């Protein structure tokens, strides 16, 4: 009898898995052929294929088949990959109310998870409305001097390599630079990561991105309510306690002393202590500071690394950028100001081309909040179905970007931008849920590049492996190895 029960259970499980992996066929939608249990995720989960490569291959498969979208599975979870820019625009913008949520893990029992990126529905809408005034161009201008102070240590770090003539590994230096910026601007603390690479703030920042692939798998397969009951912390108890206590201590100190500083923390405390009533709670401030830190240091340092690696390989582009920097600064009395940065149009092209070629987050996803009839078809998405937008696939599509493997800032000339469909450049997402901090992210990246290119010339060292390879364990687009450059003072 016991063996019959075991046999029946196994048959039932196999039947369930088989049926689960036929979901898209039952909907009449083309699907990439899945494997039992793993769906289409085995190459990433078990074979170490970088997530961004798997996404790009899937995009190219559907594009070759002349599809607007196709179905895949994360284990048994059905996911619709949409590659048609017009349909992406429809979903992210015009039909936003159907695709408001990202379907990312969050629970009040894990305070750090309750950030603007993860939360959903009216909770997200309300918080987004509260925080939007914090990210205006006026607020960026207010924080510009705080940001500019950190370039002194950055220039010194590269200057040491220029003077010693030693080959320079750039990835960690740039990550420490953006860590110092976001530590100062989001938490109001001086991390000094450039001078002290092993400081506790930098160490906890690095720990957040450890095993990110497995975190995504875990929260995809286990119900969030169960994780909450188990007191699960996505980034670990130590990380949660460190950042929570850091923000609480900062809030307490500023409220007791009346200290004011030109940073995000000051703006958030204004919302907490608003004369018309508390707009933000302490826990909301903790969660937002945390996500500002993650988004601010990782994506910007990655973009800086990729930008510098490309400039080191393309001396003509580097020289043209340096000429624009010098010309613009001369028009502003030789001083780097917010207004001067905003006038550097070629710099904007270089940053955009870097984000096209290497978007820090290679996809964005949404979850259908209700049944959704795909316009112009007979297909209906069920509530709860995941929709995936393959950002890197769009960015590497030769239909939109001729010779997409070639780094060419002129992809972003006014003429070329006008010739492309909307929603083919999505490094920050699009629609009401696009990245709220994009201005700050681009600003610190630009300031970092300006401070380096105006003083140093960079060439790629032979230690750097070309083409650049991506790390297998990351969901974000991160390098497997360092980038090594030769640095020479101008």
Please check the confidence at residue 129 and state whether its pLDDT lies above 60.
yes
**pLDDT reported for residue 253:** 92
Count of the separate structural domains present in the chain: 1
Please check the confidence at residue 474 and state whether its pLDDT lies above 80.
no
DSSP-derived secondary structure letter, 33: P
Please count the CA atoms within 13 angstroms of the CA of 160 that sit on its side-chain side: 11
The residue ranking higher by pLDDT, 14 or 107, is 107
pLDDT tier for residue 417 given thresholds of 50, 70 and 90: very high
pLDDT tier for residue 476 given thresholds of 50, 70 and 90: confident
Instruction: Catalogue the E-assigned strands of 3-102.
Output: 69-74, 77-82
**pLDDT reported for residue 226:** 77
Q: Which residues contact 85 (CB under 8 A, 6 or more apart)?
A: 394, 421, 422, 423, 424
* pLDDT average, residue stretch 148-163: 96
Please check the confidence at residue 202 and state whether its pLDDT lies above 90.
no
3-state secondary structure of 458: strand
- Residues 141-154 pLDDT 10s: 988 998 899 999 99
- Asked if residue 181 lies in contact with residue 147, where contact means CB atoms within 8 angstroms, the answer is yes
Please check the confidence at residue 213 and state whether its pLDDT lies above 70.
no
Please check the confidence at residue 475 and state whether its pLDDT lies above 90.
no
- Residues 282-302 pLDDT 10s: 999 999 999 888 887 788 999
Q: Which residues contact 436 (CB under 8 A, 6 or more apart)?
A: 116, 128, 131, 132, 135
How does the average pLDDT of the chain come out, rounded? 91
Domain residues for the domain of 480 are 2-489
- Asked if residue 40 lies in contact with residue 27, where contact means CB atoms within 8 angstroms, the answer is no
DSSP 189-238: ----TTT-TT-HHHHHHHHHTTTHHHHHHHHHHS-HHHHHHTT--TT-HH
**pLDDT reported for residue 212:** 62
- Asked if residue 328 lies in contact with residue 449, where contact means CB atoms within 8 angstroms, the answer is no
- Asked if residue 156 lies in contact with residue 313, where contact means CB atoms within 8 angstroms, the answer is no
pLDDT tier for residue 400 given thresholds of 50, 70 and 90: very high
Q: In terms of pTM, does the model score above 0.85?
A: yes
pLDDT cut 90: percent of the chain above it: 67
Residue 333, phi-psi category: left (phi > 0), alpha (psi -120 to 50), beta (remainder): left
CATH code: domain of residue 309: 1.10.630.10
Please check the confidence at residue 478 and state whether its pLDDT lies above 90.
no
Length of the chain: 490
**pLDDT reported for residue 210:** 65
**pLDDT reported for residue 277:** 65
- Mean pLDDT check: name the lowest of 89-93, 128-132, 310-314: 128-132
* pLDDT average, residue stretch 16-35: 91
3-state secondary structure of 452: helix
Please check the confidence at residue 359 and state whether its pLDDT lies above 90.
yes
Please check the confidence at residue 310 and state whether its pLDDT lies above 80.
yes
């Amino acid at each position: 009898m016991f063996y019959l029960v075991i046999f029946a259970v196994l048959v039932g499980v196999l039947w369930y898995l088989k049926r689960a992996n036929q979901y898209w066929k039952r909907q009449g939608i083309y699907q990439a052929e899945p494997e039992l249990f793993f769906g289409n995720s085995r190459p990433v989960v078990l074979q170490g294929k970088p997530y961004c490569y798997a996404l790009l291959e899937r995009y190219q498969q559907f594009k070759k088949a002349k599809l607007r979208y196709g179905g895949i599975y994360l284990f048994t979870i059905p996911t619709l990959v949409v590659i048609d820019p017009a349909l992406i625009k429809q979903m992210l913008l015009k039909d936003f109310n159907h695709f408001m949520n990202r379907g990312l893990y969050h629970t009040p029992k894990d305070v750090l998870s309750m950030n603007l990126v993860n939360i959903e529905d009216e909770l997200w809408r309300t918080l987004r409305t509260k925080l939007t005034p914090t990210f205006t161009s006026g607020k960026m201008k207010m924080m510009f001097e705080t940001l500019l102070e950190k370039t002194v240590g950055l220039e010194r770090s590269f200057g040491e390599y220029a003077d010693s003539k030693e080959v320079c590994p750039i990835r960690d230096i740039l990550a420490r630079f953006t860590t110092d910026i976001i530590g100062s601007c989001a938490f109001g603390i001086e991390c000094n990561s450039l001078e002290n690479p092993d400081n506790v703030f930098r160490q906890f920042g690095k720990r957040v991105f450890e095993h990110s692939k497995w975190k995504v798998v875990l929260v995809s397969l286990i119900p969030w309510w169960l994780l909450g009951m188990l007191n699960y912390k996505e980034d670990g108890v130590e990380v949660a306690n460190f950042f929570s206590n850091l923000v609480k201590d900062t809030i307490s100190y500023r409220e007791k002393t009346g200290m004011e500083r030109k940073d995000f923390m000051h703006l958030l405390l204004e919302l907490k202590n608003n004369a018309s009533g508390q707009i933000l709670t302490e826990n909301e401030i903790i969660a937002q500071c945390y996500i500002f830190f993650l988004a601010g240091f990782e994506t910007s340092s990655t973009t800086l690394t990729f930008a510098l690696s490309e400039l080191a390989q393309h001396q003509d582009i580097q020289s043209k950028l340096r000429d624009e920097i010098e010309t613009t600064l001369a028009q502003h009395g030789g001083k780097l100001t917010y207004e001067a940065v905003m006038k550097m149009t070629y710099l904007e092209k270089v940053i955009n081309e870097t984000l096209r070629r290497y978007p820090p987050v290679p996809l964005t996803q949404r979850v259908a909040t209700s049944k959704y009839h795909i316009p112009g078809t007979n297909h209906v998405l069920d509530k709860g179905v995941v929709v995936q937008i393959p950002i890197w696939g769009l960015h590497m599509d030769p239909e939109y970007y001729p010779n997409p493997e070639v780094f060419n800032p002129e992809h972003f000339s006014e003429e070329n931008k006008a010739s492309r469909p909307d929603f083919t450049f999505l490094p920050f997402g699009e629609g009401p849920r696009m990245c709220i901090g994009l201005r700050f992210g681009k600003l610190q990246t630009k300031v970092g590049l300006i401070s380096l290119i105006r003083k140093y010339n960079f060439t790629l060292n032979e230690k750097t492996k070309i083409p650049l390879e991506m790390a297998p364990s990351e969901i974000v687009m991160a390098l497997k190895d360092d980038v090594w450059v030769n640095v020479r003072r101008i």
